[in-house]
Amino acid sequence: MSKARFSIIYDGPALTDHTMDVRELAPALLAIGEMFDAANVALNGDATDVRVNVRAHEPGCFSIDLDVVQSIIKQGIALLSGDQIAAALNLKELLVGAVGGFGGLIWFIRWMRGRQPDRIERLPAGMVRVTIDGESIDVPLKLLRLYQDIAVRSAVERVVEIPLQRSGVETVEFAEQGTITSRVERAESELYRAPAIEDQVIIDDIRRAAFSIVSLAFKEDNKWRLHDGQNQISAIIADEDFLGRVDRNLISFSKGDVLICEVRFRQKQTGKGLVTENIVERVLEHRPAPRQLEFLIDDGSANLQ
């Protein structure tokens, strides 16, 4: 078991009486725990478990002392595989900095300022060199991994950026034994907003399919609900010619009608998970529901007319 201790200090005119609304404190404390949990998973996988305990409230501004406690779950596996566990102290230093050292992820986010690296070079001893606009710094590879981890960045946003948006909160500081290891001011808070993940298209397929109509939508961007005989789907109708004929009342629909369509089936991986889109590119045929029995007569026609 490894341990580390640090403090987080929120300061500003709204906190001069050393009190903070529990509705604002609770999400920040939960986010601190989630920040360490996400960092632990990113660096150690399921080999260790980490928790953050509130130790005490210190006088002055609004200061909270916290203990980070890490337990090794799969010690044998880690030893056999040669993996190096990022211990509690190392996690703390990577996230919020160390006395006499760099400021960890909090400092690195400020240095990056949302920019894309021009070059990243791997160095000995688990270090990398990050170069942007002709300026280079050497940081641990583990720090770069935390910077790239969306779960970690989302937790940092809730610890730093969101509290600083509150009127009267001017700074967030992280400290070790009374010495500030990293500090963020309100003017810098937007730098700590978690970056949006670009959607990645996994499947983009065009297929021919038949659907019955469950419900129509005539407002722009509204989706029609269709049924393929097994499942109900929501679909965007992108066939402008078909929609125009519907608007001009040139097409009417009845129960049991079938649309034969050319459908684009697209699945995307997003920051919120897997998303499926159904887009009707073209309505190839509108087949009304049967209204009479069909008889094949000698001349080859299907119905008596």
SS3 82: coil
Q: Is residue 295 part of a domain?
A: no
Q: Do both 215 and 129 map to the same domain? A: no
Last residue of a domain, one of 123, 158, 192: 192
Q: Do both 144 and 231 map to the same domain? A: no
Structure tokens at 160: 């730093």
Q: Do both 33 and 160 map to the same domain? A: yes
* Tally of CB atoms within 10 A around 299: 5
**Unique residue bearing structure tokens 């049991």:** 256
Q: Do both 115 and 155 map to the same domain? A: yes
Q: Do both 224 and 171 map to the same domain? A: no
| 49-59 exposure pattern, b = at least 16 Cβ within 10 A, e = fewer | ebebeeeeeee
Whose CA is closest to 7, among 88, 90, 64, 53?
64
Q: Is residue 232 part of a domain?
A: yes
Please say whether the beta carbons of 11 and 170 come within 8 A.
yes
Last residue of a domain, one of 172, 192, 212: 192
Q: Is residue 89 part of a domain?
A: yes
Residues (pLDDT < 50) of the chain are 60, 75-83, 304
Q: Is residue 178 part of a domain?
A: yes
Q: Do both 239 and 178 map to the same domain? A: no
pLDDT of residue 178: 84
Q: Is residue 47 part of a domain?
A: yes
CATH number, residue 280: 2.40.50
Per-residue three-class SS string for 133-167: CCEEEEEEHHHHHHHHCHHHHHHHHHHHHHHHCCC
Beta-sheet pairing, 232-237 with 273-287: parallel
pLDDT of residue 297: 63
pLDDT of residue 46: 80
Q: Is residue 300 part of a domain?
A: no
Please say whether the beta carbons of 150 and 194 come within 8 A.
yes
Q: Do both 184 and 221 map to the same domain? A: no
- Structural domain span for residue 145: 2-192
d(CA 50, CA 8): 18
Beta strands in the chain (DSSP E): 2-11, 48-58, 62-72, 119-123, 127-132, 135-140, 171-176, 179-185, 200-215, 224-227, 232-237, 258-270, 273-287
Contacts of 183 (CB under 8 A, 6+ apart): 171, 172, 173, 174
Q: Is residue 293 part of a domain?
A: no
Whose CA is closest to 191, among 111, 278, 295?
111
d(CA 74, CA 165): 40
Please say whether the beta carbons of 2 and 50 come within 8 A.
no
* CA-CA-CA-CA torsion sign (161, 163, 167, 170): negative
d(CA 40, CA 78): 14
H/E segment holding residue 177: none
Task: State how many domains the chain has.
Answer: 2
Q: Do both 226 and 85 map to the same domain? A: no
Q: Do both 45 and 188 map to the same domain? A: yes
Q: Do both 186 and 81 map to the same domain? A: yes
Contacts of 191 (CB under 8 A, 6+ apart): 109, 110, 113, 114
* Tally of CB atoms within 10 A around 191: 16
Q: Is residue 299 part of a domain?
A: no
Q: Do both 55 and 184 map to the same domain? A: yes
* Tally of CB atoms within 10 A around 177: 9
Q: Do both 24 and 165 map to the same domain? A: yes
Distances 150 to 60, 157, 170, 238 between C-alpha atoms, Å: 33, 10, 25, 34
Last residue of a domain, one of 165, 192, 219: 192
